[in-house]
Amino acid sequence: MPKYIFVMGGVLSGIGKGIATSSIGKLLQLRGFRVTAIKIDPYINVDAGTMNPTEHGEVFVTEDGDETDQDIGNYERFLDTNIYRDNYMTTGRVYLSVIERERNLGYGGKCVEVVPHIPEEVMARIKKAGKKSKADFIIIEIGGTVGEYQNILFLEAARLMHYRYPNDVLFILLSYLPIPKNLGEMKTKPTQHAVSQVNAAGIQPDFILARGELPLDKPRKEKLSIFCNVKKDHIISAPDVKHILDVPINFENEKLSEKILKNLNIKSRTNKFSEWKKQIRKYQRLKKIVKIGIVGKYFATGDFILPDAYISVINAIKEGCNACGCVAQLEWIDSDIYEKNPLKVKEIYAYDGIVVPGGFGKRGIEGKIRAIQYVRENNIPYLGLCYGMQLATIEFARNICGMKEANSTEIDPETKFPVIHIISEQAELLKKKQYGNTMRLGAWPCVLDKSSKSFQAYKTTKISERHRHRYELNNSFREALVKKGLLLAGLSPDKNLVEIIEIPGHPFFVGTQFHPEFKSRILRAHPLFKAFAEAAKKRSEKK
């Protein structure tokens, strides 16, 4: 029988439930257990694919083509394991399958009700995902915060699981303890309220992870213990950290994994924590800085800058840099700026490398193309991801092949030179307004040209990478582009789709139709990001 650990959030969202979930998973994994994680999002959207990135953050794509939440990316990076479609559910997804089953007489003529049928469906999904991954521990993160109307049915599923398997289910509440400036004191009351909210749902937390600016002190630990009915040594400090990998390290300083195992009556199998920590500390001590710019457009929400839409790209760059013994100093560049003020693009000279990540639609496009022209002409290392590859192709067609109005039909459907155009099956889907989960998604194989930088990076000709797009390089322009020096460095096995472009002779100019960022892991940097970081490091050393 596997063990189930539910992680819930109290008081505030955005306090690091995903990182906490991933960290708990990592610590148990380091003790020799098979671990998987499940994300529950309370929204109605069936997946994250139809949401605007500034609204939702990154859409993380799994091997099997699910468009999920960025937390699935955290689990993959921390646990260094693939997470699949079954490990992600939303309110919409759960209801959809219950309604479909009802339409197919799957409930044998019964009246189908919110309770018990929705929580039953949630439980069935959790068990199925656990079984498929053959995990010893299944950690389930319930999105949102307790007390919200939206996640009540998920809490009910958690309660029922505990009722049925009391020895195999554990509850962890991640809560926030504010220190109001005018009081200068850490307050426990909001967390006490959060606990009474979960209590009202029939759940008693076994552990509290106390998020806050500072670690918990003794009096507050005692207060929380008494008023929340949680053992004192089950209240774990989770102060703000400079580096997210300090989160699992801090948890382990408070012996969290040992306490979880004890609570569930399980013996540790091994403990590889010190070994792992040593590697992390090695990365944290790196000093050499390379300056990388990300030219994007999904940064601003109101008055705040949130790079969440590019979270996997950011991590992949950091991991690539660490693997070459340096630290990435990342800066966000809003591509709109180069549209309004083309001369400003010169500032890019100060960077050691530029990344143009994925994106959709017209806004900010000309600014990105300007940035790409600048890095091409000034030998600045460039990595283009999906849209970043398509826009690099457009730039090359315009400025090297003389096709002045070259464009993607996504931007200008009437363009004379549609060097990027829609994949034919995709055009059919759009005509029928079938937008949800219909892009070219998930892992696809690709064959590399042996003369390419990509081949040098991967050290193999056969690779597989994750995709999320509707448009592709138009094969009728292949010849013209190649004639002027563009290298089609990676093709689909049937040679029909261009998956990677490169400019030979440039220090590093690689554009991928896929998203390599989804496969970078904390201690296993992605080969292309590592090669890009290596080139950026070289540039920084030359300066």
Asked if residue 297 binds ligand GLN (CB under 6 A), the reply is: no
Asked if residue 26 binds ligand GLN (CB under 6 A), the reply is: no
Q: How far is the CB of 358 from ligand GLN (least distance, A)?
A: 3
Q: How far is the CB of 360 from ligand GLN (least distance, A)?
A: 4
Q: With respect to ligand GLN, which residue has the nearer C-beta, 25 or 53?
A: 53
Q: Kindly indicate which of the ranges 250-258, 464-472, 478-486, 521-529 contains the residues binding ligand GLN, using the contact rule CB under 6 A.
A: 464-472
Count CB atoms within 10 A of the CB of residue 336: 16
Q: With respect to ligand GLN, which residue has the nearer C-beta, 78 or 387?
A: 387
Note the helical H segments in 80-113: 91-103
Amino acid 26 reads: K
Asked if residue 526 binds ligand GLN (CB under 6 A), the reply is: no
**Are the beta carbons of 417 and 453 closer than 8 angstroms?**
no
Residue 363's SS3 state is: coil
Phi, psi torsion values for 67, nearest 5 degrees: -105, 100
Q: Kindly indicate which of the ranges 10-18, 82-90, 254-262, 468-476 contains the residues binding ligand GLN, using the contact rule CB under 6 A.
A: 468-476
d(CA 195, CA 184): 23
User: 153 Cβ partners below 8 Å, 6+ apart?
Assistant: 91, 114, 115, 118, 119, 122
User: 538 Cβ partners below 8 Å, 6+ apart?
Assistant: 507
Residue 462's SS3 state is: strand
Beta bridge partners of 418: 407
d(CA 356, CA 383): 7
Residues 388-407, interacting with ligand GLN (CB under 6 A) = 390
Q: With respect to ligand GLN, which residue has the nearer C-beta, 359 or 364?
A: 359
Q: How far is the CB of 430 from ligand GLN (least distance, A)?
A: 10
> Of 331, 405, 410, 411, which is closest to residue 371 (Cα–Cα)?
331
**Are the beta carbons of 8 and 23 closer than 8 angstroms?**
no
Q: How far is the CB of 299 from ligand GLN (least distance, A)?
A: 16
Which residue in the set 398, 469, 519, 537 belongs to the binding site for ligand GLN (CB under 6 A)? 469
**Are the beta carbons of 353 and 533 closer than 8 angstroms?**
yes
Phi, psi torsion values for 354, nearest 5 degrees: -130, 140
Angle, CA of 53, 357 and 378, to the nearest 5°: 145
Asked if residue 471 binds ligand GLN (CB under 6 A), the reply is: yes
Asked if residue 227 binds ligand GLN (CB under 6 A), the reply is: no
Cite the active site residues: 386, 515, 517
Amino acid 343 reads: L
Give how many residues touch ligand GLN by CB under 6 A: 11
Q: With respect to ligand GLN, which residue has the nearer C-beta, 387 or 532?
A: 387
Q: How far is the CB of 501 from ligand GLN (least distance, A)?
A: 14
* Cis? peptide before 116, omega within 30° of 0: yes
Residues in the chain: 543
Q: 540: which 2 tokens?
A: 């920084």
Q: How far is the CB of 389 from ligand GLN (least distance, A)?
A: 8
Q: With respect to ligand GLN, which residue has the nearer C-beta, 36 or 426?
A: 426
d(CA 197, CA 207): 15
Q: With respect to ligand GLN, which residue has the nearer C-beta, 138 or 385?
A: 385
Asked if residue 497 binds ligand GLN (CB under 6 A), the reply is: no
d(CA 429, CA 438): 7
Q: Kindly indicate which of the ranges 200-208, 263-271, 398-406, 463-471 contains the residues binding ligand GLN, using the contact rule CB under 6 A.
A: 463-471
Q: How far is the CB of 82 from ligand GLN (least distance, A)?
A: 20
User: 131 Cβ partners below 8 Å, 6+ apart?
Assistant: none
Annotate each residue in 305-344 with x if it binds ligand GLN (CB under 6 A) or - if it does not, as one string. ----------------------------------------
Asked if residue 410 binds ligand GLN (CB under 6 A), the reply is: yes
Q: With respect to ligand GLN, which residue has the nearer C-beta, 126 or 394?
A: 394
Phi, psi torsion values for 171, nearest 5 degrees: -115, 130
Residue whose token pair is 């992949």: 316
> Of 81, 78, 13, which is closest to residue 42 (Cα–Cα)?
13
Which residue in the set 470, 519, 526, 530 belongs to the binding site for ligand GLN (CB under 6 A)? 470
Annotate each residue in 351-390 with x if it binds ligand GLN (CB under 6 A) or - if it does not, as one string. -------xxx-------------------------xx--x
Q: In angstroms, how far is the first alpha carbon of the chain from the final one?
A: 59
Q: With respect to ligand GLN, which residue has the nearer C-beta, 299 or 471?
A: 471
Asked if residue 468 binds ligand GLN (CB under 6 A), the reply is: yes
Asked if residue 273 binds ligand GLN (CB under 6 A), the reply is: no
Rg of the chain over Cα atoms, rounded to whole angstroms, equals 25
Q: With respect to ligand GLN, which residue has the nearer C-beta, 248 or 388?
A: 388
Residues 59-78, interacting with ligand GLN (CB under 6 A) = none
Q: With respect to ligand GLN, which residue has the nearer C-beta, 227 or 360?
A: 360
d(CA 528, CA 402): 30
Q: How far is the CB of 465 from ligand GLN (least distance, A)?
A: 12
Asked if residue 234 binds ligand GLN (CB under 6 A), the reply is: no
Q: How far is the CB of 471 from ligand GLN (least distance, A)?
A: 3
Q: How far is the CB of 472 from ligand GLN (least distance, A)?
A: 7
In the bound state, the residue with its beta carbon closest to ligand GLN is 358
**Are the beta carbons of 124 and 97 closer than 8 angstroms?**
no
Asked if residue 159 binds ligand GLN (CB under 6 A), the reply is: no
**207-238: buried (b, 16+ CB within 10 Å) or exposed (e) per residue?**
bbbbbbeebbeeebbebbbeebebeeebbbbb
Task: Return residues touching ligand GLN (CB under 6 A).
Answer: 358-360, 386-387, 390, 410, 468-471
